């Protein structure tokens, strides 16, 4: 008689099995280290996580050479990221998927040569910057770019610089991201080659014991509704469209009412609009908009008009942030999951099941931060070695 695990793995392709194992390791680093780095407010914590992911993926590709494992692992990791305590899941999921796809494309294009790993890791690391810009414009609208341009031109005048420095900060950051990606690729290649060296026998680190209770807490009962899922898609679009046909103050009331309704039904949505950091950003954007638009706008723009533009930008951001939060909650609906288990998504669904079986064990074997700083190469070597052993068990 076949067990559930045997039935699952028999229906899965080798690519999806390897992706499930690798995606579990990647997700464990995102969930454990990601939560830790964000809690201590470490600068460039996102880049550190991307660097770790690149080292894992590149080194693993030396053992598992099938094309398509990397982007599949990215899909698995992105979906497992929903197990994280964070309320916002869409933006990190998008980042993880994009990073995996960019690396996978370059590895295939350059036929697994070092140049492909370097370019792929540099692009994946740089995606962080592009996504931040895209998301900010998506949340606040094109006026945010105008604010940035006017602010930089104001600084340029104050410093009496002749050259156009509007895009200089972005180019400097992009250069830094590319360098970080190349460094991550170098370590990934180095560890990958060691994995193929039978004479290399490092001393493994001591295992840890992490509390994985939050994995179960995510599955707590919630009154899911497909009607609410549809409403959450339609209502914010309607509010944005109707803005052109009603007064400014009536539109503000509509946004407040909708966010209030969501906050009552979805408590996590309310957390997004009570954060001090968000309201500091709210006041800052409103003040900058009122000053810059009234002083530097061609024609006559009063401070009042500038304030209206700033408030509109912030309310748009609140609406979209909360929309993404409530959609993320409703997508946990069992009916949605059952739909994904059919047709073309069946392999993905089975791979997720396998990943969920592996994730607690992977998390329990994650190294401490001290060990990662002290012996990073050995840590990565052991993580990939454990992933390979897990694959042997499944096979």
In a domain, 364, yes or no: yes
**Helices 14-39, 376-394: crossing angle, 10 deg rounding:** 140
Q: What is the pLDDT of residue 159?
A: 61
Any domain includes 149: yes
Residues 119 and 249 in one domain: no
Q: Where does residue 262 rank: exposed (0-12), middle (13-18), buried (19+ CB within 10 A)?
A: buried
Identify the pLDDT of residue 136.
78
Count CA atoms within 13 Å of residue 132 on its CB side.
12
Q: Are residues 213 and 231 in the same domain?
A: no
Answer yes or no: is 334 within a domain: no
Task: Tell me, yes or no, whether 258 and 160 share the same domain.
Answer: no
Query: In this predicted structure, which of 5-9, 118-122, 256-260, 261-265 has the lowest mean pLDDT?
Result: 5-9
Is 182 found in the same domain as 128? yes
Pairwise CA distance, residues 211 & 30, whole Å: 15
Among 334, 335, 331, 213, residue whose Cα is nearest residue 266: 331
Q: DSSP letter at 202?
A: P
Of these ranges, 118-122, 186-190, 268-272, the one predicted with the greatest mean pLDDT is 118-122
DSSP state for residue 162 in the 8-state scheme = -
Q: What's the total number of domains in the chain?
A: 2
Q: ∠ at Cα 50 (44, 51), nearest 5°?
A: 90
Q: What is the mean pLDDT of residues 274-303?
A: 66
| Count of C-beta atoms within a 10 Å radius of residue 366 | 21
What spatial distance separates the first Cα and last Cα of the chain, rounded to whole Å? Answer: 17
Are 207 and 289 within one domain?
no
Per-residue pLDDT at 183: 95
Residues 103, 106, 111, 117, Cα dihedral to 10°: -60
- Residue 336 in domain: no
| 221 SS3 class | coil
Same structural domain for residues 59 and 208?
yes
> Are residue 126 and residue 56 in the same domain, yes or no?
yes
- Domain assignment present for residue 337? The answer is no
My answer on whether 202 and 85 are in the same domain is: yes
How much of the chain, in percent, has pLDDT values that exceed 70?
Answer: 64
Residue 95 forms part of a structural domain: yes
Q: What is the pLDDT of residue 58?
A: 93
Q: How far apart are CA 254 and CA 64, in angstroms?
A: 53
> What is the rounded CA–CA span in Å between residue 289 and residue 300?
14
Residue 340 lies inside a defined structural domain of this protein: no
Predicted confidence (pLDDT) per residue in 325-337, tens digit = 788 777 777 777 6
Q: What is the mean pLDDT of residues 288-307?
A: 64
**Token pair in block for residue 17:** 């099995």
- DSSP for 18-84, written as a single string: HHHHHHHHHHHHHHHHHHHHHHTT-TTHHHHHHHHHHHHHHHHHHH---TTHHHHHHHHHHHHGGGS
- Which tokens hold the place of 290? 């009122």
* Residue 213 sits in the same domain as residue 271: no
Contact indicator for 391, 17 with CB cutoff of 8 Å: yes
What does 308-359 look like in DSSP terms, one character per residue? HHHHHHHHHHHHHHHHHHHHHHHTT-HHHHHHHTSGGGHHHHHHHHHHHHHH
Which stretch, 13-17, 84-88, 232-236, 384-388, has highest mean pLDDT?
Answer: 232-236
- Spatial distance between the Cα atoms of 336 and 331, rounded to a whole number of angstroms: 7
The answer, yes or no, to whether residue 302 has pLDDT greater than 80, is no
Give me the chain's average pLDDT, please.
76
Buried b (16+ CB within 10 A) or exposed e, 83-96: bbebbebbbbbebb
Q: Has residue 178 been placed in a domain?
A: yes
Picking from 152-166, 225-239, 249-263, 289-303, which range would have the lowest pLDDT averaged per residue?
A: 289-303
Tokens of 319: 């609406």
Least confident interval from 13-17, 56-60, 164-168, 316-320: 164-168
- When pLDDT is averaged across residues 113-132 and rounded to a whole number, the result is 93
Question: Which DSSP state fits 163?
Answer: S
Contact between residue 102 and residue 123 where contact means Cβ atoms under 8 Å apart:
yes
pLDDT tens digits, 339-360: 766 656 667 767 777 776 766 6
Split at pLDDT 50, 70, 90, the class of 254 is: very high
Of 106-115, 243-252, 378-387, the least confident = 378-387
Which range of 71-75, 293-297, 304-308 scores highest in mean pLDDT? It is 71-75
User: Hey, which of 103-112, 300-309, 370-379 has the most confident mean pLDDT?
Assistant: 103-112
CA angle 21, 31, 282 (to 5 degrees): 140
208 & 154 share domain: yes
pLDDT of residue 57: 92
Contact 137, 170 (CB under 8 A): no
Return the higher-pLDDT residue of 103 and 263.
Answer: 103
Please tell me which residue, 184 or 194, carries the higher pLDDT value: 184
Same domain, 84 and 184: yes
Asked if residue 327 lies in contact with residue 90, where contact means CB atoms within 8 angstroms, the answer is yes
What is the full DSSP assignment across 232-297? HHHHHHHHHHHGGGS-HHHHHHHHHHHHHHHHHH-HHHHHHTS-HHHHHHHHHHHHHHHHHHHHHS
- pLDDT number for residue 186: 94
The 10s digit of each residue's pLDDT in 85-112 is 555 567 788 899 999 999 999 999 999 9
Query: What was the pLDDT predicted at 177?
Result: 93
Rounded CA-CA distance 232/153 in Å is 40
Question: How high is the pLDDT of residue 280?
Answer: 75
> Does pLDDT of 376 surpass 90?
no
- State yes or no: pLDDT of 153 exceeds 80: no
pLDDT, residue 74, reads: 92
pLDDT at 152: 72
Please tell me whether residues 322 and 188 are part of one structural domain.
no
The pLDDT, as a whole number, for residue 215 is: 47
Give the model's pLDDT for residue 178. 94
119 phi and psi, to 5 degrees? Answer: -65, -45
Domain that holds residue 282: 226-329
Q: Find which of 70-74, 128-132, 141-145 is predicted with most confidence, using mean pLDDT.
A: 70-74
- Those residues with Cβ within 8 angstroms of residue 271's Cβ, 6 or more apart along the chain or in another chain: 87
């Amino acid at each position: 008689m076949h067990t559930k695990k045997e039935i699952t793995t028999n229906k899965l392709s080798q690519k999806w099995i390897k992706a499930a194992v690798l995606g579990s390791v990647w997700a464990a680093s995102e969930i454990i280290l990601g939560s830790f780095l964000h809690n201590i407010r470490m600068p460039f914590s996102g880049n550190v996580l991307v660097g770790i992911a690149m080292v894992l993926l590149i080194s693993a590709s030396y053992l598992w050479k099938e094309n398509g494992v990397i982007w599949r692992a990215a899909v698995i990791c992105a979906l497992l990221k929903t197990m994280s305590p964070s309320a916002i899941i869409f933006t990190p999921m998008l980042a993880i998927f994009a990073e995996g796809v960019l690396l996978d494309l370059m590895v295939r294009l350059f036929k697994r040569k070092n140049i492909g790993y370097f370019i792929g890791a540099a692009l994946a690391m740089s995606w962080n910057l592009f996504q931040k810009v895209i998301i900010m414009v998506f949340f606040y609208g094109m006026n945010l770019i105008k604010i940035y341009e006017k602010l930089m031109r104001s600084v340029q005048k104050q410093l009496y610089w002749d050259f156009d420095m509007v895009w200089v900060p972005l180019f400097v950051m992009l250069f830094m991201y590319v360098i970080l990606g190349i460094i991550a690729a170098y370590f990934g290649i180095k560890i990958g080659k060691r994995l193929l060296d039978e004479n290399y026998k490092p001393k493994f680190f001591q295992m840890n014991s992490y509390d994985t209770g939050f994995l179960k807490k995510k599955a707590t009962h919630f009154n899911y509704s497909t009607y609410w899922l549809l409403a959450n898609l339609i209502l914010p679009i309607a509010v944005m469209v109707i803005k052109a046909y009603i007064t400014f103050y009536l539109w503000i009331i509509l946004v407040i009412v909708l966010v209030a309704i969501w906050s009552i039904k979805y408590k996590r949505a309310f957390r997004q609009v009570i954060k001090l950091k968000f309201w500091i950003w709210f006041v800052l954007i409103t003040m900058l908009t009122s000053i810059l638009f009234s002083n530097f706008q061609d024609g006559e723009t009063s401070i009042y008009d500038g304030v209206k533009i700033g408030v509109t930008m912030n309310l748009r951001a609140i609406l979209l942030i909360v929309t993404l939060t409530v959609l993320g909650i409703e997508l946990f609906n069992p009916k949605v999951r059952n739909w994904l288990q059919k047709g073309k998504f069946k392999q993905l669904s089975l791979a997720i099941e396998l990943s969920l079986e592996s994730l607690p064990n992977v998390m329990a074997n994650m190294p401490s931060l001290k060990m990662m700083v002290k012996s990073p190469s050995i840590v990565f070597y052991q993580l990939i070695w454990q992933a390979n052993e897990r694959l042997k068990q499944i096979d």
